Amino acid sequence: MTSTTAVPADPPVDLWSPRLRAMTVGSVALVSLLAFEALAVGTAMPTVARSLDGLGLYALAFGGSFASGVVAMVASGIWCDARGPRPAMWHGVVWFVAGLVVAGAATTMEVLVVGRVVQGFGSGLVSVALYVVVGQAYPEQLRRRIFAAFAAAWVVPSLVGPALAGLIVEHLGWRWVFLAVPAVAIPAALLVQPGLRALTATVATRPPAGALARIGWACGAGASAALLHYGGQQRGVLAAALIAGALAGLFVCVPHLLPAGFLRAARGLPTVIGLRALASAAFVAAEVVIPLMLSRERGLSPTGAGLVLTVGALSWSVGSWIQGRIRSPRSAATLPRAGLACITIGTAGVASALVPGLPVLPAVLSWSVAGLGMGLLYPSLSVLTLEQSAPAEQGRNSSALQLGDSLAAATVLALTGAVLAAGASPGPAGFATTLAVAATCGLLGLLLAGRVVLR
């Protein structure tokens, strides 16, 4: 008679298990800091521009950061695929912190713009490296949940970030909006460091072919994005000329940075990235007009209109939580379809606020539906991107996903500004047009959602 010795089973792996706990805490903290800084700077910048007598460079303080972030996303993808996420992560944190220090210590607006460019470059490096960390450090069954945690890490800053930044500006001074963040960013990066050491040995050590050309195209896309951002803040013929030139530049450069077949919605990864761009365009187009529309057409106070956006942010978090608890969707297209259906219905329903006889409540509920859709969609597309990427291409494809997202949002913001500025003052026709564009983007994504499945 033989006896067997029972082998103890491995403990179940969870986001908060000993092996992943520090990585999870550090990663979520970094996402929260990137989100807070992105939202808080918008609150502080009017005061900054007045203090440094730099209103002429106000737009460049935002456009420069966005442009450097575009270049950094591409560079980070190349770097992660060649050397693993550790170098890109650490360099990203160093650039991010250095940019914050330069901006916080600036005595002229020109120096502050330099700080913002450096900060934006660091943010772009970190954001892509975090996706590669998820692909390499987290088992497949946990990826929906960690991306849901990243979504929640954006929600809290979106709720309290602007108000907190306002309090900091009023009581401590605008410089502390920049200088306080490094005190948390460095410890968060240190928490991630032990887990990063184990990830670098699984990848190649040479940059992929065409890396230098991709950086060149990224520089062109970044310059076009900055021009688009600047043009969106102008008026009249100048705005039209700048936006047209910027869109032409993006049309030439961006296809070289996204997967082949993106423009024709080829099955698999090209459609995954396209859906993310369409969803971003739809949501941002509606989000940017809601406060102005509710204020002008329904008489809501700025606080009341802002609370409507808060409802969308909270429902986004709920949607992310729900998708993180779904173990095995019926197909890869299930969650994207559900999310895009909610986005289409929600953005179209917001237009009910333009009907004088209707209460505002249907528009508020519609926006919550759109937020729910974003919560279902965003993490599921992030997971699909990693699933459809070879280990040596996770950086490139993660950067393409975020690049499409960012550029779609920037494009729709510029075009929305042009639409709203077309008349003597923003009115129902401009609001309805913008919401129609948003719903159309969602509907187009819904019709293409089945193409995320490889056959």
Could you read off the pLDDT of 307-318 as tens digits, one per residue? 788 888 889 989
Confidence band of 5 (pLDDT split at 50, 70, 90): very low
pLDDT of res. 338: 93
Give residue-wise pLDDT tens across range 105-129. 888 888 998 999 999 899 999 999 9
Q: Tens digit of pLDDT for each residue in 74-103?
A: 999 988 888 888 888 889 999 999 999 998
In this predicted structure, the answer to whether residue 57 has a pLDDT above a threshold of 80 is no
How far is it, in rounded angstroms, from Cα 33 to Cα 27? 10
Question: Looking at residue 233, what DSSP letter applies?
Answer: T
Residue 353: which of 366, 371, 342 has the closest Cα?
366
Under 8 Å between Cβ of 135 and 203: no
224-231: average pLDDT = 82
86 compared with 15, residue with greater pLDDT: 86
pLDDT band at 4 (very low <50, low <70, confident <90, very high): very low
CB-count burial class (<10 Å; 0-12, 13-18, 19+) for 150: buried
Answer for the pair 189, 125: CB distance below 8 angstroms, yes or no. no
**Is residue 82 within 8 Å of 200, Cβ to Cβ?**
no
User: DSSP H helical segments within 106-235, as ranges?
Assistant: 109-137, 143-171, 175-179, 182-197, 211-232
pLDDT for position 301: 76
How many CB atoms neighbour CB 171 within 10 A?
8
pLDDT, the chain, mean: 83
- DSSP assigned state of 108: S
Looking at this protein, which amino acid is placed at residue 383? V
H-helix segments, 254-268: none
Please check the confidence at residue 440 and state whether its pLDDT lies above 90.
yes
DSSP-based helix, strand, coil % in the chain, nearest 5: 80, 0, 20
60 to 218, 269, 443: CA distances (angstroms) = 18, 33, 34
Confidence at 3, pLDDT banded by 50, 70, 90: very low
Average pLDDT rounded to a whole number, residues 175-192? 82
- What distance in Å separates the CA atoms of residue 239 and residue 413, rounded to the nearest whole number? 13
In 331-365, which positions are buried (b, 16+ CB within 10 angstroms) versus exposed (e)? ebbbbbbbbbbbbbbbbbbbbbbbeeeeebeebbe
pLDDT at residue 300 in the model: 78
- Report the Cα–Cα distance between both ends of the chain, in Å, rounded: 52
Q: Is residue 199 predicted with pLDDT exceeding 70?
A: no
Residue scoring higher pLDDT (151 or 7): 151
User: Which pLDDT band, with edges at 50, 70 and 90, does 178 fall under?
Assistant: confident
Sorted by sequence, the CB contacts under 8 Å of residue 408 that are 6+ apart come out as 276, 277, 278, 280, 281, 284
Instruction: Please report the pLDDT score of residue 442 as a whole number.
Output: 94
pLDDT above 90 covers a percentage of the chain that reads 24
By C-alpha distance, which of 316, 420, 416, 297 is closest to 360? 297
Task: Kindly report the number of other CB atoms within 10 A of residue 132's CB atom.
Answer: 30
Burial (CB count <10 Å: 0-12, 13-18, 19+), residue 7: exposed
Backbone angles phi and psi of 259, in degrees to 5: -60, 150
Asked if residue 214 has pLDDT above 50, the reply is yes
CB 178 within 8 A of CB 101: yes
Contact 243, 338 (CB under 8 A): no
Separation CA 184–CA 274 (nearest Å): 34
Q: With cut-offs at 50, 70 and 90, classify the pLDDT of residue 174.
A: confident
CA 252 to chain centre: 23
Question: What letter does residue 11 receive in the DSSP assignment?
Answer: P
Using CB atoms within 10 Å of the CB of residue 216, give its burial: 0 to 12 exposed, 13 to 18 middle, 19+ buried: middle
**pLDDT, tens digit, for every residue of 324-380?**
888 777 777 889 999 999 999 999 999 998 888 888 899 999 999 999 999 999 999
User: How many alpha carbons fall within 13 Å on the CB side of residue 178?
Assistant: 25
Average pLDDT over residues 12-41: 78
Half-sphere exposure of 251 (CA within 13 A, CB side): 6
CB under 8 Å to 248, separation ≥6 — which residues?
Answer: 224
Q: Which of 388, 72, 444 is nearest to 276 (CA)?
A: 444
Sign of the dihedral through C-alpha 103, 108, 111, 112: positive
